[in-house]
Chains A and B, each alone.
Chain A
């Protein structure tokens, strides 16, 4: 049976649909009109996948564990788990993941090394779109903060044991982090006499800077260290951000250079959230 080519009526409907799509696209890109619905959907998928995992995989793991271990060992294990539960009943994830404490110590060590006295809260990565991180300009991460109580974390610095990852831009049940490499992110950084506002490049692990030789005559060198200046009021100062990896002259006076970040968001599933400065 042959298909009929679109009539003028159906063409008008196609045109209307495409126009409506363009309008929705404009609203979403310029005004973020659908952010709430998107975040709601993300929260729903994260919590439902967690629930499904708890219902399906966890019992299977448990059965597997039982079949492997001797009953005496299981009893002992249970006792130990119970003791651990009692000790850290405030958060059930705390009780299950020994790696949590390792990450906690690592972040504490990082804060001590950098002489940051701000209290921090541990958080676990709930969702991170690696596809977008590797291919696209929007670099966001969704985390669950432990023991957050009623603290508003919007604008708080997020770190791991390597360094600064970004800042929180949305904080409800799941917090959203704007990573340093996101193209919409700007951060003031400093190195000796050089100061610049580093922008996210949209490439994983790279931020970029522009400066004029007329303002800072000292040359930039490959491998030069850059630190947070603390001037934006978001990030603590004097934290190592990264090393200059490539330098390109735009013209006689203007220089563009890339900085490879020291902190990799893919390294650990646990991160720290500093209380606001």
Chain B
């Protein structure tokens, strides 16, 4: 995938944030949480041909904090951590199968949910949400990654 432009990614994340705010109240009834903005950003840096600058991740995180009314700094820290992890293992990922990569992303998403709930929802922290989200996200990513086999035109080069 070509490196996605800043403006394009900003717009995509903005739309993803709106989508997330619509979906989250419905999915939470089934104890499912999908951090769409975080996953889109993670996917963008994973697919990038170059290493992501720490400031890039930090500023995108701040932007998400601002538009999603999370505590300022929460997404900035998590985005920076994710960018560091993806950059560190970018070459190792090439040895991974898509199942392993799906599991990595669902694990990251679960970490994100757990970490953010420690700050915004400590009183009602639920391991059930983490567990169900982990399973749901893993299957969701597997389905999304398998779509390219059935619909080759959807493949992101």
- Given contacts A24-B72, A25-B72, is CB(A18)–CB(B81) below 8 Å? yes
B84 part of interface (Cβ distance < 8 Å): yes
Query: Is A101 on the interface with B (CB-CB < 8 A)?
Result: no
Interfacial chain B residues near A4, Cβ < 8 Å: 51
Contacts of A130 in B (CB 8 A): 25
Give the chain B neighbours of A24 by CB distance below 8 A: 62, 72-73, 76
A76 at the interface (CB under 8 A from B): no
With a cutoff of 8 Å between Cβ atoms, the chain B residues found around residue A97 in the complex are none
**Cα–Cα distance between A192 and B53 once the two chains are bound (Å):** 63
Q: Report whether A38 and B69 are in contact in the complex, using a CB–CB cutoff of 8 Å.
A: yes
> Could you tell me if A28 and B72 are in contact, using CB atoms closer than 8 angstroms?
yes
Q: Is the interface of B mostly helix, strand, loop or mixed?
A: helix
**Residue in B28, B49, B55, B77 whose beta carbon sits within 8 Å of that of A22 in the complex:** B77
0/1 string, A4-32, CB within 8 A of B gives 1 = 11100011011011101111111111000
Q: Does A3 contact B (CB under 8 A)?
A: yes
Q: Is A42 an interface residue (CB 8 A)?
A: yes
| Residues of chain B with a CB closer than 8 A to A14's CB | 54, 80, 83-84
Contact of A129 with B76 at beta-carbon distance under 8 Å, contacts A5-B87, A135-B25, A137-B121 already known: no
**Interface status of B10 (Cβ within 8 A of chain A):** no
- Tell me the complex Cα distance, A28–B72, Å: 6
Query: Residue A124 at the B interface, CB < 8 A?
Result: no
Number of interchain pairs (Cβ within 8 Å): 116
Interface of chain A residues 182 through 232 with chain B (CB within 8 A): 183, 201-203
The answer, among B54, B119, B123, for a CB contact under 8 Å with A17, is: B54
Mark contacts of A116-139 with chain B using CB atoms, 8 A cut-off: 1 yes-contact digit, 0 otherwise.
Answer: 000000000000011111111110
Over the window 114-132 of chain B, the binary record of Cβ atoms lying under 8 Å from chain A Cβ atoms (1 yes, 0 no) is 0001011111100000000
A88: CB under 8 A from chain B? no
Chain A contact-residue range equals 35 or more
- Provide the B29-61 mask, 1 if CB < 8 A to any CB of A, else 0: 100010000000000000001110111011001
Q: Is the CB–CB distance between A137 and B124 below 8 Å?
A: yes
B119 touches A203 (CB 8 A): no
> Is A201 within 8 A of B24, CB to CB?
no
Which of A20, A26, A29, A129 makes the CB contact (< 8 A) with B21? A129
B88 at the A interface (CB under 8 A): yes
B51 & A6 in contact (Cβ 8 Å cutoff): yes
Contact B123 A6 (CB under 8 A): no
* A2: interface (CB < 8 Å): yes
Question: For residues 57 through 100 of chain B, which have their beta carbon under 8 Å from a beta carbon of chain A?
Answer: 57-58, 61-62, 66-67, 69, 71-74, 76-77, 80-81, 83-84, 87-88, 90-91
Cα of A247 to Cα of B81 in the assembled complex, Å = 42
Contact A202 B54 (CB under 8 A): no
CA A21 to CA B50, docked complex, whole Å: 24
Measured in the bound complex, the distance between the Cα atoms of B80 and A5 in whole Å is 15
Q: Is the CB of A6 within 8 A of B72?
A: no
Residues of B close to A203: CB separation below 8 A: 124
Asked, given contacts A21-B61, A201-B123, whether A28 binds B71 with beta carbons under 8 Å apart, the answer is: yes
Complex Cα–Cα for A28 and B62 (A):
12
Q: Are A18 and B121 in contact (CB under 8 A)?
A: no
Establish whether residues A13 and B72, one from each chain, have CB atoms under 8 Å apart when the complex forms.
no
Contact A10 B51 (CB under 8 A): yes
Say yes or no: is A34 at the interface (Cβ < 8 Å to chain B): yes
Q: Smallest distance from the beta carbon of A135 to chain B beta carbons, Å?
A: 5
6 residue pairs bridging A and B, Cβ less than 8 Å apart: A14-B54, A28-B71, A131-B28, A133-B25, A135-B121, A136-B117
B residues within 8 Å of A by Cβ? 21, 24-25, 28-29, 33, 49-51, 53-55, 57-58, 61-62, 66-67, 69, 71-74, 76-77, 80-81, 83-84, 87-88, 90-91, 117, 119-124
Besides A25-B71, A38-B69, A134-B25, 16 other A-B contacts (C-beta < 8 A) = A2-B91, A3-B90, A5-B90, A6-B88, A10-B53, A14-B80, A17-B54, A17-B76, A21-B74, A21-B77, A25-B77, A37-B66, A129-B69, A133-B25, A135-B24, A135-B121
